[in-house]
Chains A and B, each alone.
Chain A
Amino acid sequence: MSEAAPYRLRLFVAGSSARSQDMIHALRRTCRQGLGPATELEVVDIFQQPDLAERNGVVAAPTLVRLSPAPVRRLVGDLSDPERVLRAMALGPGAA
């Protein structure tokens, strides 16, 4: 499953802080290890782009959104547990 198209993820945060920076780092590591090195991770501050949150169906921050591959998936709340993140973001074995 590693030869499939790379993952595109988008993280929505509320304001930038040291805590959110730590979270972004941890998340990058998790994604590269669990979803492949080509994984793209964008970070959006909902204060700066609330309309983008609306378009991506985001209602809270932090939210991690899988933009592709389809279908779109969202994970809200605590993103510090790599297993929880990968469980939500990785395509399930039956979904491919």
Chain B
Amino acid sequence: MPEPDLEAALRRQLRELEARLQESEDTLDAIRRGAIDALVVSGGQQHRVYTLESADRPYRVLIEQMREGAVTLSPDGTILYGNHRLSEMLELPQEQVIGRDLGLFLPEGERPVLAWLLREGGRGELTLRGARGGEMPVAASLGWLAVEGEGAVLCGVLSDLSAQRAHLREVSRANALLRAEIAQREAAEAALRQSQKMEAVGQLTGGIAHDFNNLLTGITGSLELMQEAVLRGRIVGLERYVASAMASAHRAAALTHRLLAFSRRQTLAPQPLSPNRLVEGMAELLSRTVGPAIALRTELADDAGTILCDPSQMENALLNLAINARDAMPDGGTLVIGTANVLATPEACREAGMAPGPCVALFVSDTGIGMSPETAARAFDPFFTTKPAGEGTGLGLSMIYGFARQSGGQAMIESALGQGTTVWLYLPRHEGMAEEAPKGAVATPAAGRGETVLLVDDEAVIRMLMGEALRKLGYATLEAADGPTALRLLQGGERLDLMVTDLGLPGGLNGRELAEAARRTQPGLKVLFITGFAEAAGLDARGLDAGTEMLPKPFSLEALATRIRAMLDRPPSPA
């Protein structure tokens, strides 16, 4: 007879077994009815999950429908599975994709890329060649996938890059188009500017021809009158004609100067000078030029030092600036002309296109109408003027700019509409003393003491004029029309104290070459170049050797004599 405890335990066991049996039957039933998604099959250490079609169906659908090519590959590149998109990319019906070698759909040159991807996995760009010949750039990304019991496969995604490429092409085409348009517009603008300039040049040359004709008429007329008078033996009153001929000639010279300055081909005769003294010396003249309605003030810096530049050009520049200021203040105002010591950093100098080093500034400041940014941007352009036709040539500021640049400096405009204008001229500071009062030099005796001067110029009239003037002053002169003739004189044993030569000479030797050849015969020979242009490169007075100087044409005979005397009085250079 079983004890009651044992009986209870057996009953419990029975219930448990019944439950287990029920569970198993339920499980089998569920499997039979397809109520399950997956089965877990265990074999030793490994568990495998077998999914039934219903479980991974969403993923299959997803993969089939996605717009990227999805692929699994064997390690040798054989396609094991490809989604619908892949078959589109390969231009094949889906049933012909599996089992193909993916490499056959690539250009030969890209097969190593695929081989590398198959070996290493990762990303690359490939060109798919479809079965019907279509080409498609794709980004491929491949990765290893371990599948139990089957060895490794690679699965990958291929994304179409053509849209992206087309977009890039589109963007770069649009860019190129834009650039072409800009270039076209710039060319048109440049052409317009050029034609405006040509128009202005036309106006200008017309105007200049007219002015020159007037001046020449003045000169020839005076000469004719003189000739007549001389023929009739009347000498009295001749100075009148001489004076008017001279006046015309001076104006003509001034006119050519202006033109040369703007072309930056003028011959500068720089010398050390004090900007303060220069401004002080001009204040009276400037004040009279601008008239009583404008108050003139000078602001001179104690430490403005010395600059190296052509004094008459500097005076000319300040005068032009004052006239511009006057024109900008029709109802009066204040004109300030000043100097300043500028502590410019090397970067600032480089930016301004100047050699690094200390600078001195001269400025002319007015309380006038000012300039719009557009006007200020073009004010230095030659022929740019806002003044009515016939009133402004538009050469004033361009000449000043040319002069400042040629002197190693810079010119700048600071202006705003209704706020007045300040024009700055920056020049390199010169370490040395300013020459004392060059203006008073007229009185220096220019007389010769029997020194021999050789005059070389192809223009017989100029040779004659110079020779006559110098001989009257007590010099002995020799003349030559070209370089070879001059050299023959020298080699013939003539001892010279100084040679005056034109820079541009016929006969195969220019003035500079002649000077060199002459110094081989007579070392240390002093040479004075006379020229209408600083034509030979670097022939600013600064670029000259010791014992060599330059006198720009046109010059007065008095200036020539003064310069020759000064050169002869200087101790010979150690060359």
Interface set of A (CB-CB < 8 Å, partner B): 13-15, 17-18, 46-47, 50-51, 53-54, 58-62, 71, 73-78, 88, 94-95
Contacts and interface: CB of A to CB of B under 8 A. Distances in A.
Contacts of B26: 75-77, 88
A15 B51 contact: yes
A50 B40 contact: yes
A54 B47 contact: yes
B36 to A, nearest CB: 4
A78 B174 CA distance: 62
B27 A60 contact: yes
29 contacts: A15-B37, A15-B51, A15-B55, A15-B56, A15-B59, A17-B58, A18-B58, A46-B49, A50-B48, A53-B40, A59-B27, A59-B39, A60-B39, A60-B40, A71-B16, A73-B19, A73-B23, A75-B26, A76-B27, A76-B30, A76-B36, A77-B26, A77-B27, A77-B29, A77-B33, A77-B36, A78-B30, A78-B33, A88-B26
Interface string B2-36: 00000000000001100100010011011101011
B51 A71 contact: no
B38 A14 contact: yes
Given A15-B56, A50-B47, A53-B47, A71 B19 contact: yes
Contact of A60 (B16, B36, B42): B36
A50 B36 contact: no
Contact of B23 (A14, A18, A47, A74): A74
Given A50-B47, A59-B40, A60-B27, A78 B35 contact: yes
Contact of A62 (B29, B37, B42, B56): B37
Contacts of A71: 16, 19
Contacts of A61: 36-40, 49, 55
A81 to B, nearest CB: 11
Interface size on B, as a range, is 20 to 34
Interface in B41-66: 41-42, 47-49, 51, 55-56, 58-59
A52 B51 CA distance: 17
A51 B49 CA distance: 10
Nearest to B56: A15
A13 to B, nearest CB: 7
Given A15-B56, A77-B36, 12 more contacts: A15-B59, A46-B40, A59-B27, A60-B30, A60-B36, A60-B38, A62-B36, A73-B19, A74-B23, A76-B36, A77-B27, A77-B30
Nearest to A58: B40
Contacts of B36: 60-62, 76-77
Nearest to B35: A77
Given A17-B58, A77-B27, A77-B35, A54 B19 contact: no
A62 B357 CA distance: 89
Nearest to A60: B36
Contacts of B55: 14-15, 17, 61
Nearest to B34: A77
A54 B23 contact: no
A83 B36 CA distance: 19
Nearest to A71: B16
A65 to B, nearest CB: 10
